[in-house]
Structure 1
Amino acid sequence: MDGRAGFDCDVLVIGGGIVGLSTAYAITRAAPGTRVVVLEKEAGPARHQTGHNSGVIHSGVYYRPGSLKARYAVRGAAEMVKFCAEYGIAHEVTGKLIVATRRDELPRLHALVQRGRENGIPVRELGPAQIMEYEPQVRGLAAIHVGTTGVCDFTAVAGQLAESVRAAGAEVRYGAEVTVVDRRAWGVAVRTGAGEVVRARALVNCAGLQCDRVARLAGDDPGMRIVPFRGEYFELARPELVRGLVYPVPDPAFPFLGVHLTRSVDGGVHVGPNAVPALAREGYRWSDVRPGEVAGTLGWPGSWRIARRHWRYGAGELHRSLSKRAFATAVRRLLPAVTDADLRPAAAGVRAQAVLRDGTLADDFLIRRGARTVHVLNAPSPAATASLPIGREVAARVLGVLAEG
């Protein structure tokens, strides 16, 4: 095939979450006239990771200086606030506290101060009395205040991106699950579950929880597997106990931030998440079980290496999942006034964690290029925060594919 004849679009994006839609958004702005189609298997945008998180606009304080996560988060936080303000999307820059409640956490807290400053983030160190000035009910030995953290409605952001993409001439098709990918020298053709065929010059895989499967459908070995972790939340029955955002000092050996307190844009306070293995890639409850997906997780060598390496941490997470009392005890480290009755079950989320064959948990964004394809294989938190610059990065790569002919 020559030129654009015979193609339905120039770029086909698989996945209508915030990263896929940001990529389409970036393409339409960087290269107006590029024909873009987004295929999303659900009935609307942001139905999985984007729509099941705590809504935090992360500052970038946690991330290794120079990493993609650090660069994208710092830049993306400012851009996300500007985007929300431009389109009237609910948001607020609240700042947050990261609180040390044990002496062995103090060195890690001080390391975060240095890391934040290296990333260009305003960080203020606090003692116990100063903690109470920000959060009267929170107790700790020391804390840092990060002023650029905020909250927003990421589902609304994704919806606005979809509207903007369509206004620029692109198509967003819902209920279109990709089941076959046929890659040739001239381009890529996909077939959906409904039998629709879409031919494109290049393909972008932003399929999130299904991204490794899509990569294999395209004939590429992603070198990783998605191992789903469910994040379980509670809602605080007494939201007046918390003014803003309160986090523990994270454990650097595990890529989760621990149980934290988040006042959302609607005024409610979410508590969590704890992280437990999900029994389905879209397993938001213990009752959501897909044996084939469980077998796929257990059949990946990296899964067993994770289990051996982190079994103590995982046992604690599982205990808190099965015992509300244990979960409340963890919360009381930060917020002593919380009782078991204050915690009401809230919607859970599932994190698409990329695990390498050797058991390494991919900690940074993982974007790989194949023939006629660009795959986003790991987009962990702060992906929603950083979605606008991530979208530009992915857009630049796929436009490079098109430029090569």
Structure 2
Amino acid sequence: MIITIAQSGRQQRQQDTKLGMLYLDVDLQKNWQLQMLRTLLLKRILILFLLLATRLVVANENQVFTGKLISVNLAKSEIVIENDKQQQSIIAVARSTRIIHGDQKVTLITLCPEQQIAVSIDSSIPAVDKIRILGDRKLPPKLLYPTSELVTVIRGDLPIIISAPHGGREAIPGVPKRNNESTPKFAIKSDTNTYQLASTITEQLEKKLNGKPWLIAAKFHRSYLDANRSLENALEHDKAKAVYTAYHQALQHAILEITCQYKTGLLIDVHGQSRLPDVVWRGTRRGTTLGGLVDDFGWDVVEGKDSLMHTFNLLDYATHPQGMDASEGPFGGGFITATYGYPYGLNAIQLEFGYSFRANKEIYLKTAIDTAEAIKRFHQRYLTKKLDCEPDAINR
């Protein structure tokens, strides 16, 4: 009997313990639920506060916003303006949308920060023409973008940008080489002599056109940073971000200046390929990144008598691909061409030079002279129309 009582007492204590643990678990669960509710409430309050301060406006409403242009996000197709009450509005633009300035169709980045503008969103007309910007065109300040000793930037006055993201040789101080091979389109090999080729093309164009094209070229080696990738796939160390930003904001600034002064412009992204060493390979995403000119002049822009590729052919260069329906394969246009080509920036083309055209100084000098001749013909046919653009006070 005593044993039975003792066992019953132990069982009672075990039951009490289990019950206590159950109560504790219920309390913990309640606390966790309360904490989640508090967190959710705080998030909603924060979102409400942000919405009061900044309005996101999609381009499908009949509204007019007047204020100061704060920033432009080319990659996201957004502009931010601020009214006299210091309220900011984000104007989100559909990727196919063009912005109209007066009678001229221009792109998302024709205006510079601090400019007073009015943005009208008209849903009664086709999406491609929805947003109108009212206000004077103004040349952006020269020092609007950050600089880096590892990015060569030569300011131009012609509507031409020569970009070379993969020809650099220098290390980025404090940044180890990239080694995450799981990164999409991971590559660390440089494009031999493309820095020199791009620089020489720029020099030759200055002689042929009596004006300067823009040159934006990487001095840094691709193994540390790949400027022809989106930010998340371009680098593996935070110290490389400043260099990446310097390269891309220089591109955006150049486009900003060109679209203020000219009806259109041309971005040429210079690369090297070894798949077909005796061929110049074009990348336009099947004409898409040259779409602004293709809309006006048809496929002749890509392969007609004044096109880059036709002039290369006349100068005895083999080109690839040929034909409107031909696949451009692995070199159809990378991040720079896709991001800053039509319809987001300028008309753009990626030129992949086979190794035979850049193997040494004597060879790349001839290639640069011939490439400059091709660009000259293209410029004279398609890129000469100027626009009225008010200089910024800093540029006067």
Give the TM interval when normalised to the shorter protein: under 0.3
Q: Give the structure with higher Rg (CA).
A: 2
Which is richer in strand?
A: 1
Structure having the higher helix fraction is 2
Relative CO higher for 1 or 2, CA cutoff 8 Å, sep ≥ 6?
1
- TM-score after normalising by structure 1: 0.25
